[in-house]
Amino acid sequence: MDRESSPRVRKRQQRTRVQLLKAAHRLMSKQGVDATTIQQITDEADVGFGTFYNYFSSKDDLATQVLDCVINNLGRRNDLVTQSTRATDPVQIVATSVRLVARETMSNPIWHWWVRRPDLLVERLRAGLRPFGIRDMRHAIDSGAYRIIGGDMDAARSLLLWLLVGGVKDIIDKYRPPQIEPLIIESIMRVMGVPLERAAAVSHRRLPPYPELEIDFSFVALAPATAQPAGAAPTAKAKVSA
Protein backbone atom coordinates (compact mmCIF):
# COMPACT_ATOMS: atom_id res chain seq x y z
CA MET A 1 0.00 0.00 0.00
CA ASP A 2 1.22 3.52 -0.86
CA ARG A 3 2.32 5.13 2.40
CA GLU A 4 0.61 8.41 1.46
CA SER A 5 -2.74 6.64 1.11
CA SER A 6 -2.53 4.47 4.21
CA PRO A 7 -5.36 4.91 6.77
CA ARG A 8 -2.90 6.10 9.41
CA VAL A 9 -1.50 8.83 7.15
CA ARG A 10 -4.95 9.94 6.04
CA LYS A 11 -6.08 10.13 9.65
CA ARG A 12 -3.06 12.25 10.58
CA GLN A 13 -3.67 14.54 7.60
CA GLN A 14 -7.29 14.94 8.61
CA ARG A 15 -6.26 15.88 12.16
CA THR A 16 -3.81 18.48 10.89
CA ARG A 17 -6.39 20.01 8.55
CA VAL A 18 -8.91 20.23 11.40
CA GLN A 19 -6.27 21.82 13.69
CA LEU A 20 -5.58 24.52 11.10
CA LEU A 21 -9.27 25.21 10.52
CA LYS A 22 -10.00 25.42 14.25
CA ALA A 23 -7.04 27.71 14.86
CA ALA A 24 -8.03 29.97 11.98
CA HIS A 25 -11.61 30.17 13.22
CA ARG A 26 -10.53 31.08 16.77
CA LEU A 27 -8.17 33.82 15.59
CA MET A 28 -10.38 35.21 12.84
CA SER A 29 -13.39 35.35 15.19
CA LYS A 30 -11.38 37.54 17.58
CA GLN A 31 -9.47 39.80 15.21
CA GLY A 32 -11.00 39.35 11.76
CA VAL A 33 -9.58 37.68 8.67
CA ASP A 34 -7.37 40.52 7.43
CA ALA A 35 -5.55 40.92 10.76
CA THR A 36 -4.86 37.18 11.07
CA THR A 37 -1.62 35.90 9.53
CA ILE A 38 -0.66 32.43 8.38
CA GLN A 39 2.14 32.45 10.94
CA GLN A 40 -0.36 33.11 13.73
CA ILE A 41 -2.57 30.30 12.47
CA THR A 42 0.23 27.73 12.30
CA ASP A 43 1.50 28.80 15.74
CA GLU A 44 -2.00 28.46 17.19
CA ALA A 45 -2.44 25.06 15.52
CA ASP A 46 1.05 23.98 16.63
CA VAL A 47 2.12 22.92 13.14
CA GLY A 48 5.04 24.02 11.00
CA PHE A 49 4.60 27.07 8.77
CA GLY A 50 5.44 25.09 5.62
CA THR A 51 2.85 22.45 6.51
CA PHE A 52 0.12 25.01 5.90
CA TYR A 53 0.62 24.83 2.13
CA ASN A 54 0.11 21.08 2.10
CA TYR A 55 -3.54 21.78 2.94
CA PHE A 56 -4.42 25.27 1.69
CA SER A 57 -3.19 27.33 -1.23
CA SER A 58 -3.54 30.66 0.61
CA LYS A 59 -5.13 32.35 3.59
CA ASP A 60 -8.14 33.17 1.41
CA ASP A 61 -8.52 29.47 0.58
CA LEU A 62 -8.40 28.62 4.29
CA ALA A 63 -10.92 31.35 5.13
CA THR A 64 -13.29 29.97 2.49
CA GLN A 65 -13.08 26.46 3.93
CA VAL A 66 -13.68 27.84 7.43
CA LEU A 67 -16.74 29.57 5.97
CA ASP A 68 -18.05 26.26 4.59
CA CYS A 69 -17.80 24.68 8.05
CA VAL A 70 -19.53 27.66 9.69
CA ILE A 71 -22.35 27.65 7.12
CA ASN A 72 -22.94 23.94 7.71
CA ASN A 73 -23.08 24.69 11.43
CA LEU A 74 -25.64 27.48 10.87
CA GLY A 75 -27.87 25.11 8.93
CA ARG A 76 -27.78 22.54 11.72
CA ARG A 77 -28.38 25.19 14.42
CA ASN A 78 -31.33 26.59 12.48
CA ASP A 79 -32.81 23.09 12.36
CA LEU A 80 -32.54 22.83 16.13
CA VAL A 81 -34.15 26.19 16.82
CA THR A 82 -37.05 25.74 14.35
CA GLN A 83 -37.83 22.07 14.94
CA SER A 84 -40.82 22.85 17.18
CA THR A 85 -42.56 24.82 14.39
CA ARG A 86 -41.47 22.63 11.46
CA ALA A 87 -44.80 20.89 11.06
CA THR A 88 -47.04 23.89 11.73
CA ASP A 89 -45.57 27.13 10.36
CA PRO A 90 -43.31 26.89 7.29
CA VAL A 91 -43.21 30.67 6.79
CA GLN A 92 -41.97 31.24 10.34
CA ILE A 93 -39.30 28.55 9.88
CA VAL A 94 -37.69 30.31 6.92
CA ALA A 95 -38.10 33.80 8.40
CA THR A 96 -36.52 32.72 11.69
CA SER A 97 -33.65 30.90 9.96
CA VAL A 98 -32.85 33.90 7.75
CA ARG A 99 -33.01 36.33 10.68
CA LEU A 100 -30.70 34.17 12.77
CA VAL A 101 -28.18 33.97 9.93
CA ALA A 102 -28.39 37.76 9.54
CA ARG A 103 -27.76 38.31 13.28
CA GLU A 104 -24.82 35.92 13.25
CA THR A 105 -23.18 37.61 10.25
CA MET A 106 -23.52 41.02 11.89
CA SER A 107 -22.23 39.99 15.32
CA ASN A 108 -19.04 38.02 14.56
CA PRO A 109 -16.02 39.85 13.02
CA ILE A 110 -15.09 36.76 11.01
CA TRP A 111 -18.18 37.32 8.84
CA HIS A 112 -17.32 40.90 7.93
CA TRP A 113 -14.52 39.81 5.59
CA TRP A 114 -16.92 37.46 3.79
CA VAL A 115 -19.78 39.98 3.64
CA ARG A 116 -17.45 42.41 1.85
CA ARG A 117 -16.96 39.68 -0.76
CA PRO A 118 -20.65 39.15 -1.49
CA ASP A 119 -20.10 37.04 -4.60
CA LEU A 120 -18.04 34.52 -2.58
CA LEU A 121 -20.46 34.55 0.35
CA VAL A 122 -23.57 34.05 -1.77
CA GLU A 123 -21.87 31.24 -3.69
CA ARG A 124 -20.95 29.39 -0.50
CA LEU A 125 -24.31 30.02 1.20
CA ARG A 126 -26.12 28.83 -1.91
CA ALA A 127 -24.22 25.54 -1.85
CA GLY A 128 -23.94 25.03 1.90
CA LEU A 129 -27.52 25.81 2.90
CA ARG A 130 -29.15 24.27 -0.17
CA PRO A 131 -30.25 20.97 1.48
CA PHE A 132 -31.86 22.88 4.36
CA GLY A 133 -33.31 25.67 2.21
CA ILE A 134 -34.82 23.52 -0.53
CA ARG A 135 -36.47 21.25 2.06
CA ASP A 136 -38.04 24.17 3.95
CA MET A 137 -39.02 26.02 0.79
CA ARG A 138 -40.68 22.93 -0.69
CA HIS A 139 -42.64 22.48 2.55
CA ALA A 140 -43.78 26.12 2.40
CA ILE A 141 -44.87 25.79 -1.22
CA ASP A 142 -46.68 22.48 -0.69
CA SER A 143 -48.61 24.00 2.21
CA GLY A 144 -49.65 26.98 0.08
CA ALA A 145 -47.67 29.48 2.16
CA TYR A 146 -45.32 30.45 -0.70
CA ARG A 147 -46.22 31.48 -4.24
CA ILE A 148 -42.97 31.50 -6.20
CA ILE A 149 -43.10 32.93 -9.73
CA GLY A 150 -42.42 30.17 -12.22
CA GLY A 151 -41.98 27.64 -9.41
CA ASP A 152 -38.17 27.88 -9.65
CA MET A 153 -36.93 27.28 -6.10
CA ASP A 154 -33.24 27.65 -6.94
CA ALA A 155 -33.86 31.07 -8.48
CA ALA A 156 -35.95 32.09 -5.47
CA ARG A 157 -33.23 30.94 -3.06
CA SER A 158 -30.62 32.88 -5.00
CA LEU A 159 -32.70 36.04 -4.72
CA LEU A 160 -33.21 35.36 -1.02
CA LEU A 161 -29.45 35.11 -0.45
CA TRP A 162 -28.60 38.23 -2.46
CA LEU A 163 -31.20 40.24 -0.54
CA LEU A 164 -29.84 38.90 2.75
CA VAL A 165 -26.16 39.49 2.00
CA GLY A 166 -26.80 42.90 0.40
CA GLY A 167 -28.85 44.04 3.37
CA VAL A 168 -26.29 42.83 5.91
CA LYS A 169 -23.46 44.47 3.91
CA ASP A 170 -25.29 47.81 4.04
CA ILE A 171 -25.51 47.48 7.83
CA ILE A 172 -21.86 46.43 8.30
CA ASP A 173 -20.71 49.24 5.99
CA LYS A 174 -22.86 51.64 8.09
CA TYR A 175 -24.77 52.66 4.98
CA ARG A 176 -27.97 51.68 6.78
CA PRO A 177 -28.69 51.17 10.53
CA PRO A 178 -29.15 47.73 12.12
CA GLN A 179 -32.82 48.57 12.63
CA ILE A 180 -33.52 47.77 8.96
CA GLU A 181 -33.07 44.04 9.64
CA PRO A 182 -36.86 43.40 9.76
CA LEU A 183 -37.21 45.21 6.42
CA ILE A 184 -34.64 42.85 4.87
CA ILE A 185 -36.55 39.81 6.11
CA GLU A 186 -39.92 41.25 5.13
CA SER A 187 -38.61 41.93 1.60
CA ILE A 188 -37.39 38.34 1.34
CA MET A 189 -40.76 37.01 2.48
CA ARG A 190 -42.51 39.16 -0.14
CA VAL A 191 -40.27 37.74 -2.87
CA MET A 192 -41.42 34.29 -1.72
CA GLY A 193 -45.02 35.38 -2.29
CA VAL A 194 -45.99 35.79 1.37
CA PRO A 195 -48.81 38.35 1.82
CA LEU A 196 -47.78 41.77 3.15
CA GLU A 197 -49.33 41.52 6.63
CA ARG A 198 -47.98 38.00 7.20
CA ALA A 199 -44.50 38.99 5.97
CA ALA A 200 -44.44 41.94 8.36
CA ALA A 201 -45.58 39.81 11.30
CA VAL A 202 -42.97 37.05 10.94
CA SER A 203 -40.22 39.64 10.37
CA HIS A 204 -40.85 41.36 13.69
CA ARG A 205 -41.61 38.38 15.90
CA ARG A 206 -39.31 37.86 18.87
CA LEU A 207 -36.48 35.48 18.01
CA PRO A 208 -35.84 32.34 20.08
CA PRO A 209 -32.41 31.81 21.68
CA TYR A 210 -29.84 30.55 19.19
CA PRO A 211 -28.51 27.19 20.44
CA GLU A 212 -24.78 26.59 20.62
CA LEU A 213 -23.50 23.70 18.54
CA GLU A 214 -19.90 22.65 18.06
CA ILE A 215 -18.64 23.36 14.56
CA ASP A 216 -17.66 20.25 12.62
CA PHE A 217 -14.29 21.24 11.12
CA SER A 218 -13.97 17.87 9.42
CA PHE A 219 -16.79 18.96 7.11
CA VAL A 220 -15.81 19.26 3.45
CA ALA A 221 -18.20 21.09 1.16
CA LEU A 222 -18.90 20.06 -2.38
CA ALA A 223 -17.69 22.54 -4.98
CA PRO A 224 -20.51 24.96 -5.84
CA ALA A 225 -21.93 24.39 -9.31
CA THR A 226 -21.54 27.40 -11.60
CA ALA A 227 -23.55 25.85 -14.42
CA GLN A 228 -25.92 22.94 -14.93
CA PRO A 229 -23.84 20.16 -16.55
CA ALA A 230 -25.22 18.22 -19.47
CA GLY A 231 -27.21 15.19 -18.36
CA ALA A 232 -27.54 16.42 -14.78
CA ALA A 233 -30.79 16.41 -12.86
CA PRO A 234 -32.90 19.48 -13.67
CA THR A 235 -32.99 22.51 -11.39
CA ALA A 236 -35.38 22.08 -8.47
CA LYS A 237 -38.86 23.11 -9.48
CA ALA A 238 -41.96 23.62 -7.43
CA LYS A 239 -45.55 23.55 -8.49
CA VAL A 240 -46.41 26.80 -10.21
CA SER A 241 -49.05 28.64 -8.25
CA ALA A 242 -52.11 29.83 -10.09
CATH number at residue 19: 1.10.10
Residue 131 in domain: yes
Mean pLDDT in residue range 148-155: 85
Look up the domain containing 27 and give its range.
1-56
Domain assignment present for residue 194? The answer is yes
Distance separating alpha carbons of residues 136 and 224, to the nearest angstrom: 20
Measure the CA–CA gap between 159 and 188, rounded to whole angstroms. Answer: 8
192 and 106 in a common domain: yes
Task: Kindly indicate the confidence band of residue 6, based on its pLDDT and cuts at 50, 70 and 90.
Answer: confident
Residue 124 has a pLDDT of 94
- Determine contact, residues 114/34, Cβ cutoff 8 Å: no
- State residue 211's pLDDT score: 86
5 and 101 fall within a common domain:
no
Q: Is the pLDDT of residue 77 over 70?
A: yes
Q: How many structural domains does the chain have? A: 2
DSSP 8-state class, residue 213: -
pTM, full prediction: 0.83
151 and 210 fall within a common domain: yes
- Looking at residue 232, its pLDDT comes to 33
88 vs 239, which has greater pLDDT? 88
**In a shared domain, residues 123 and 177:** yes
Model confidence at 234: pLDDT above 50: no
Are residue 181 and residue 84 in the same domain, yes or no? yes
Q: With 80 as the cut, is the pLDDT of residue 114 above it?
A: yes
Overall average pLDDT of the 164-184 stretch: 94
Beta bridge partners of 237: 152
